[in-house]
Amino acid sequence: MNLASLNGVAPVDSAGLSSQLSIRNVTKVFPGKKGLFKKLSGKTSQDFVAIEDISMEIEPNTFVSIIGPSGCGKSTLLGMIAGLMPITGGEILLNGAPIIGPGPDRGMVFQNYALMPWMTVDENIRFAVETVHPKMSPKAINRVIKENIQLVGLEGAERKHPHELSGGMRQRVGIARALAINPQILLMDEPFGALDALTRGFLQDEIERIWEQQRKTVIMITHSIEEALLLSDRIVMMTRGPAARIDEILEAPFPRPRNRETIVQHPAYAALKAEMESHLFRETRAVEAARIRGK
Amino acid sequence: MALSQATTRAIAKPGRESPFLNQNMRAFWLFLLSLGIFLLAWEMGARSGLFAKGMPTASKTLEEFWWWITHPFFDNGPNDLGIGWNLLISLRRVAIGYILASLVAVPLGILIGISPVAYKAFNPYVQLLKPVSPLAWLPLGLYILRDSEQTGVFIIFISSIWPTLINTAFGVANVDKDYLDVANTLGASKLRTIVKVIIPAALPNIVSGLRISMGIAWLVIVAAEMLLGTGLGYFIWNEWNNLYIPNILVAIFIIGLVGLLLDSLFAALEKFVAFGRNS
């Protein structure tokens, strides 16, 4: 648990052995608009450094939350881990092998669910399982679907289409779909960001329950301090962009299984929460100030 | 408690409507009223000679309409054909031309939509040919095909291809990125992504394109047939040569009615493929 290397310190290879996911000196630059034509039309723009030199080691069966002010490149980092975005500099290793593209070893839960509207709940999950395991027998596929629908508590909704479900139920389908392919790592991009507060709390409890059952490695992006404290083992706090970095990595030492009533009484809770709040307020204030000055 | 009850009652009261006065019924009454006024004005105007000479009265036109729809299928040669036969002839031409056009436009639209290069490369053709009036193709069709029947089908084909093509390409090119990300993270093959994700995602656009194409095909067939012989368009042209206006009005009404039916068919299809999406 002490392998959380901070910026600039390149992790030693032996350290990488025990970790499942190694993020090493990763930089992401979005190229600006250049070229003669753009220059003539006055539409050139500078390169945008979203993330600069981020390093982090994630051990198996850890729940990691990434928290930071808006626009700090959290989603960019997750996109690179998912393999949906090319990495500009550095490398990300999954079990020692560099990530070069998307793959079913990483399951993704999207902020706006990303369910196919024309597929039923069953068909959405089936699409994922059939894509990843084309040779699986129909019987086995049905079993996987049933298990995961039960896991997220959606029995009875199998034949419904997403537009007939509430936001919370849709995200359950999203989670079931991501888990059904049995990924090594679950990536969640603000999974509850589009939900109302009550549904959000309810789904957080569900995630905690599911995590206790499966103990998969999870990387979750969030804006919510309480959410991060309730769910994670480690909380990665990022600085504001551009050129966002890791500011600090906190350990959340609360015993599991957790619930929101008992966790607040833990002696470390208040201090951790205060620290995260001050970090987030400081960064957010700086972002706002920069915006007022006009970049 | 008393307060809340009082408010509910106050809100509920104006909501209580008699079945004769809800919105749909009121719209229906207004429709009937306006129709009555229209027919009355027509009848009186025609009787008092207010309109052009030879303009039929409403009652005469309705009488003709009734005669034509009760005698739809008779055949006394090409210039005296029941309206049912003419309608079937027109529908047949539209069906052949339209289906051929759709068979070309949908796959081509998918190909163009998938590749940004193809999209840019073929866009000039589409943009140039789209605004051309279908009738401008008529002489070319007659010259190449030397057959009025085939020319009719050709005109329908060429005019109903563009909306479907454009809408399909647009729909395919603008599939929600989240759906593609899902397919990507699962490692779906290109073919599987196209069949299982891109085409279903673009289906509402494709059906809208098909609906617009059908509307255009139905518009064009009447005009084309005036120059080709047989069909509803020729029926109108023939009655114009006979200078018998009531039958022209009957034909206009029937054309409108059939167009409405075809459009409703596609509207229902659009709803069927939408799954809660509003486009």
pLDDT at B25 over 90: no
Question: Are B186 and A131 within 8 A, CB to CB?
Answer: yes
Indicate if ipTM > 0.95: no
Residue A258: both structure tokens together:
């957790």
DSSP A119-176: S-HHHHHHHHHHHH-TTS-HHHHHHHHHHHHHHTT-TT-TT--GGGS-HHHHHHHHHH
- Both tokens of residue B161? 């291809």
Range 152-181 of A in CB contact (< 8 A) with B: 161-164, 181
Q: Calculate the alpha carbon distances from A124 to A131, A141, B43 in Å.
A: 11, 12, 61
The per-type count for chain B, helices as H runs and strands as E runs, is 12, 0
Q: Does B187 touch chain A (CB under 8 A)?
A: yes
Which of A290, A289, A283 minimizes the C-alpha distance to A73? Answer: A283
Tokens standing for residue A225: 């301090």
Of A49 and A118, the structure prediction assigns the larger pLDDT to: A118
Q: Does the pLDDT at position B12 exceed 70?
A: no
Q: Is the dihedral of CA B206, A170, A280, A72 positive or negative?
A: negative
Q: Is A241 on the interface with B (CB under 8 A)?
A: no
What pLDDT, on the 0 to 100 scale, is given for residue A1? Answer: 39
* pLDDT grade for B2, boundaries at 50, 70 and 90: very low
pLDDT at site A295: 52
Helix (H, G, I), strand (E, B) or coil at A188: strand
Q: Is residue B187 part of a domain?
A: yes
pLDDT at residue B205 above 90?
yes
pLDDT digits (tens, 9 = 90+) for B217-275: 999 988 888 887 788 888 888 888 888 888 888 889 989 999 999 999 999 999 998 88
Q: Which of A134-138, B35-39, B68-72 has the lowest mean pLDDT?
A: B68-72
The predicted pLDDT at position B19 comes to 66
Rounded to 5°, the CA angle B20-B22-B23 comes to: 125
Whether B214 is covered by a domain: the verdict is yes
> To 10 degrees, the CA torsion angle through A73, A74, A78, A83?
0
**CB distance B217 to B156 below 8 Å:** yes
Give the pLDDT confidence of A90-101 residue by residue, as tens digits: 899 998 889 988
Q: Give residues with Cβ within 8 angstroms of B16, minimum separation 6.
A: none
Termini Cα distance of chain A: 38
Any CB–CB contact under 8 A between A106 and chain B?
A: yes
The residue-averaged pLDDT of B70-92 equals 80
Structural domain includes residue B31:
no
B233: domain CATH number is 1.10.3720.10
DSSP B241-269: HHT-HHHHHHHHHHHHHHHHHHHHHHHHH
Domain-embedded: residue B93? yes
Task: With beta carbons under 8 A apart, name residues in chain B contacting A131.
Answer: 183, 186-188, 192
Q: Is residue B127 part of a domain?
A: yes
* Cα–Cα distance, A14 to A22 (Å, whole number): 12
- Residue A93 half-sphere exposure toward CB, CA atoms < 13 A: 18
Name the more confident of A265 and B77. Answer: A265
Residue-range domains of chain A with CATH: 59-292 (3.40.50.300)
CB distance B105 to B165 below 8 Å: yes
Closest CA to B138 of B130, B128, B146: B146
State the residue range of the domain holding B133.
83-274
Task: Give pLDDT tens digits for B97-113.
Answer: 999 999 999 999 999 99
Give strand ranges (E) for chain A: 21-30, 48-58, 63-67, 89-94, 97-98, 106-109, 185-189, 217-222, 234-238, 246-251
* Residues in CB range of A19: below 8 A, 6 or more apart: A3, A57, A58, A59, A60
Say yes or no: A112 contacts chain B, CB-CB below 8 A: yes
Predicted confidence at residue B278, as pLDDT, reads: 66
Q: Considering only CB atoms, which chain A residues are within 8 Å of B188? A: 131
Strand A106-109 relative to strand A185-189: parallel, antiparallel, unpaired?
parallel
B201 interface with A at CB cutoff 8 Å: yes
Structural domains counted in chain B: 1
**B75 within some domain:** no
CA nearest to B184 within chain A: A102
Give the C-alpha separation, A146 to A255, whole Å: 31
Q: Does residue B24 sit within a domain? A: no
Could you give the angle at the alpha carbon of B110 between the alpha carbons of B217 and B264, nearest 5°? 35
How many percent of chain B have pLDDT more than 70? 91
Cβ contacts of A83 on chain B, cutoff 8 Å: 184-185
Q: B33 pLDDT exceeds 90?
A: yes
How far is the C-alpha of B267 from the C-alpha of B254, rounded, in Å? Answer: 20
Dist. CA B159–CA B135, nearest whole Å? 9
- pLDDT tens digits, one per residue of A202-228: 889 989 988 988 889 999 999 889 999
Residue A190 to chain B, least CA–CA distance (Å) = 14
Per the domain annotation, does B60 fall within a domain? no
Q: Can you say whether the dihedral through the CA atoms of A112, A114, A120, A121 is positive or negative?
A: negative
Q: Does B5 touch chain A (CB under 8 A)?
A: no
Query: Are B276 and A103 a contacting pair at CB < 8 A?
Result: no
pLDDT confidence of residue B45: 83
Under 8 Å between Cβ of B178 and A170: no
DSSP-based three-state secondary structure for A248: strand
Residue type, B155: I
Q: Give which of A262, A259, A239 is closest to A249, Cα–Cα.
A: A239
* Three-class DSSP category at A113: coil
CA distance B182 to B171: 18
Judge residue A237's burial from the number of C-beta atoms within 10 Å of its C-beta, 0-12 exposed, 13-18 middle, 19 or more buried.
Answer: buried
Considering only CA atoms, which of A109, A71, A279, A285 is closest in space to residue A194?
Answer: A109
pLDDT digits (tens, 9 = 90+) for A143-170: 999 999 998 889 999 999 999 999 889 9
